[in-house]
Structure 1
Amino acid sequence: MLLGRDNMKFSNKIVVAVIVGLMSFSGVVVAEDINTEAIGNAIGNITSEIETAKEIQSEPLDKVRINWETIPGAVSYRLVIQNGESTSKDAEVKHFNRIPNNGYELDTANMFKAKDYYWRVCPLDYDGNVMGPYSAPKPLIGEEVNPKAPLATTEFEKMAYSPLYPVFSWIPVDGSGGYEIRVSRENKFSPGRYEVVREMTTKNNVYYEEGGYTWPGHYMWQVRSQNKVGEPNTEWSEPKYFDVEQHVRVAALGDSITHGGGVCNVPPGYAMYSWEYYSQVPIKNLGCSGDSVQVMAQRFDRDVMPFSPGMLIIMGGVNNFRAGEDGWDTIAAMEQILAECQYHNVIPVFVTATPINPGLMSKVPTIEPAAWNWKEQQQLLNQWIKNQPYHVDVTPALTDANGNLKAELTTDGLHPDHLGKKIIGETISNYLLTTFPSYNLTEK
């Protein structure tokens, strides 16, 4: 039935009368205090707010992406979902152990009370033991609800230079069958326009780029998820950027210890696990995981010279002596790098090879056992390095009483973690600033 203007006024009066009656009964106001026009407006506002609230709640809560700051030294994390802010065991609804990333996509489609749930997280060591306190509980609905694209986790923006061999990483997408990555370079004649230069696919949420980036320019990378048959099932992630310089003053040639990463699970894209991050001197990272010194020498023309550095930090040998290679063969490859530096008028600064910890290495299935005579070969190599005009001895601060890499500085026994990288970076930085005071090395 349609109401005329008079009927509508009458209807409003009835509503007002009811409200007046209720309010008078409660003792809050009396009839003569009522402004009927104001109440009519208030009723309209209340109705509008209710309808808006219904619209907000109409979107199904299918998935929530939770992410947190990387905790130094954490190998993985324990995520707890709980009912309310209470941290008692009784409030726990669900938990997830050994999450290797600093984030998690939670399937909430069947969590009917998900809007009332909270989350908290704590760090775990290699054996899955709690190694630090839980974070304060936070509401699930305060996180990213129903994310439409993956969340990139690389931290190139925290680094003085982007690595030659970038490692792309992101929070895994729940139910993903794989991912596609695209890298684009800005057209220098048309700023803001990007052209795709590389496309890659992977099943994992970490991708080690095999092709180095030596062509100068401003780059952008993105990732999106695929379903089980390889079709896109998310949007492209928000762009992340990195730059490739035509010239750098100082660069570092090395293996995975130079490339970055640590605690078994954290890839090189995280700044705190890169020793260059702790250096006051901006250093271009030319490291490549898995390299022997021979491969480093082979990469010189391809990977070093495009940046024409005036100074080159050279750090390698661990992959040689842990495999049982004779130290003199490693030294021969180092001499090849030295000759390349001399030929191209690059100042070579050699860094002693870090020790390893075979006991901890044996706990990690993906790491091969160390050769029985590794210490002898390491000492031979390091003695040659310390005989060079420019060298940095980082080994003593990393070595325990038995000649092994200190257990508190490593998880896998092979790679120094963040504290070890901090020692290396600061030691190299201090040496450079002390040895070359007139070079103004803190400037790019």
Structure 2
Amino acid sequence: MKNFIKYIIVFVVFFNILAIAGDTYSYPLVSSPPYAVVHYGEKSPASYTPVLRWNKNTKAVYYELEVFTDIPKNLSNNKPNSQHVYFTDKVFLNAFMLPLQDIIHTFPCTIYWRVRAMDIDHNPLTTFSSLEKLYSDGHVPSANAPIPIAQYNTGNGSVLLYPVYEWIPNPGAEKFEIEVLSAAPDTSGEISNSQYKVFSKIINFSCEFYDPVPRIGKFYWRVRALDSDNNPIGVFSAARLIDNDPSKHYIVGIFGDSISHGGGHMSYGPEDFEFSYAHYLDFPTINLSESGDTIEMMVKRFDNDVLPFTPKYLIIMGASNSLRAGIPADKVILGLKILQQKCYDNNIEPILLTLPSINPANIKKVFDEATSDNWADDFNKVNAYIRTQVHIDTAADFPTPPEVLPTCYALDGLHLDDNAKAIMGNRINKAWPRVIKEIDERKNFHIGTAALKKFFQTPDVYDL
């Protein structure tokens, strides 16, 4: 779904949701505390804006960070300490660019920092990490720029037609400008827009951006910070490559909505590849999915987004957004048939995935969106159709509607977390040899003008 933009959601939830007691969203302190993965000492001193980094906890919604100039006495690992000189709970990545020059005015200096993971209800998932000693000589950083995190084309699940860009913000930023280029920039640390710019967008403070444009070919992306009046703060970040070259002839494509696009647990998007079932597959894929898709949107964009790549096999999973919004199962089934026929017409073998259950209460809590009263019957009807086709039963490892998807598999009730995506990937891997053998007989659904007219005349989600 297009509104699954994690930082908007996290900020809304963070400031508006009341902590609710109970087991639904509470995690016991069973996770190990975070630990620093980058260290600064006298032989490798930090600048006046050091980047603090620690291991990722995929159950964390956000982190709390404390900085001290001295080690407090009787320091508890279970709660913040009033002697800190800096504290923030607006940390949604396992990294933070610390505005040390605003905290410590004399260099060189030594500070101590620690961090802990938090859940959706502001309860700690872990104790605080051990105090990490940091030495800074106050030197100027190599560049005053955001640091890109998302890095595509680096292994299974990392090739996305619709990229999501993620970065570590630099201090003082109020907005960000994302720029997509047709070629690598001429120099690093540029202040001005590139001559190769094909797209740019200014957004309010965030750490990520969902590209609305399918990136077919080779591109580069970068980002820079802006103040509230859109004046640059520093320079553009280093540019990162996006390579979706159709000439690479991907054998397997994935086509769907946000569940296939990737992301989950509120604070993780498709750029966090462990939240994509494609990451766990035994074979490479190109992910042609787009967050926010309905079944009608998938049908409409098929020709433009799938045909340039013409994979031999196309894994199709979609329509959860349609069904939970009350779009009839019959329209979804007809849409799946249209997609299957489009595949057959273009020598592509469609492989359908069944839809895991959802959790309407969790969807309401996180997104403040209602779910259709008929969702369970409609999910079951669509899955019943899918099971008559060449398919992989990815729903089989989860409860069957009307049983809801447990919170441990999807915090927001819709987007499956990393553990559930691993289960899906394992199910696909085990079924893949069998499914390939089943693909012998092509089906033809003889979808006529009347059926197409009915499909497009039935209201879509965004028509309601």
The bucket for the TM-score relative to the shorter chain is 0.7 to 0.9
Distance 1:370 1:438 in 2: 36
Distance 1:331 1:400 in 2: 19
Distance 1:144 1:103 in 2: 20
Q: Select the structure that is richer in helix.
A: 1
Provide Cα deviations, 1:109-130, integer angstroms capped at 9, x if missing partner.
2434782211121111111111
Alignment match, 2:131: 137
Provide Cα deviations, 1:81-118, integer angstroms capped at 9, x if missing partner.
13446681466443322522222233332434782211
Of the candidates 265, 268, 284, which is equivalent to residue 263 of structure 1?
A: 265
CA 1:96–1:194: 2 relative to 1, 3 Å = same
Describe the SS at the equivalent of 1:409: coil
1:128 and 2:130 correspond: no
| Contact persistence 1:313–1:351 (CA under 8 A) | yes
Provide Cα deviations, 1:230-259, integer angstroms capped at 9, x if missing partner.
122112212222211212110011000011
Unpaired runs of 5+ residues, structure 2, are 1-41, 189-193, 440-464
TM-score of the superposed pair, with normalisation by structure 2 = 0.74
| Contact persistence 1:186–1:194 (CA under 8 A) | no
| Contact persistence 1:159–1:271 (CA under 8 A) | no
How far did residue 296 of structure 1 move? 0.6
CA 1:186–1:401: 2 relative to 1, 3 Å = closer
> Which of structures 1 and 2 has the bigger CA Rg?
1
Alignment match, 2:211: 209
Alignment match, 1:245: 245
| Contact persistence 2:182–2:198 (CA under 8 A) | yes
Aligned-partner residue type, residue 227 of structure 2: N
Provide Cα deviations, 1:116-154, integer angstroms capped at 9, x if missing partner.
211121111111111124333223337997551101111
How far did residue 157 of structure 1 move? 4.2
Alignment of 1:66-215 (within 5 A): 66-84=52-70, 88-89=75-76, 92-108=84-100, 109-112=102-105, 115-141=109-135, 146=141, 148-160=144-156, 161-186=158-183, 195-203=196-204, 204-214=206-216
Describe the SS at the equivalent of 2:289: coil
Alignment match, 1:362: 364
Aligned-partner residue type, residue 369 of structure 2: E
CA 1:382–1:418: 2 relative to 1, 3 Å = same
Alignment match, 1:6: none
CA 1:341–1:258: 2 relative to 1, 3 Å = same
| Contact persistence 1:65–1:144 (CA under 8 A) | no
Provide Cα deviations, 1:378-433, integer angstroms capped at 9, x if missing partner.
00000000000x10111121227962112211111111111111111221222223
CA 1:113–1:125: 2 relative to 1, 3 Å = farther
CA 1:197–1:159: 2 relative to 1, 3 Å = farther
| Contact persistence 1:102–1:171 (CA under 8 A) | no
Describe the SS at the equivalent of 2:372: coil
Query: Greater relative contact order: 1 or 2 (C-alpha under 8 angstroms, separation 6 or more)?
Result: 2
Q: Which moved more, 1:312-321 or 1:89-98?
A: 89-98
Distance 1:194 1:435 in 2: 48
CA 1:401–1:302: 2 relative to 1, 3 Å = closer
How far did residue 339 of structure 1 move? 0.9
- Structure 1 residue ranges (4+ consecutive) displaced by more than 4 angstroms after TM superposition: 84-87, 142-147
CA 1:266–1:184: 2 relative to 1, 3 Å = same
Unpaired runs of 5+ residues, structure 1, are 1-52, 440-444
What is the RMSD of the two structures over their aligned residues, measured on CA atoms?
3.0
Aligned-partner residue type, residue 225 of structure 2: S
Alignment match, 2:8: none
CA 1:437–1:71: 2 relative to 1, 3 Å = farther
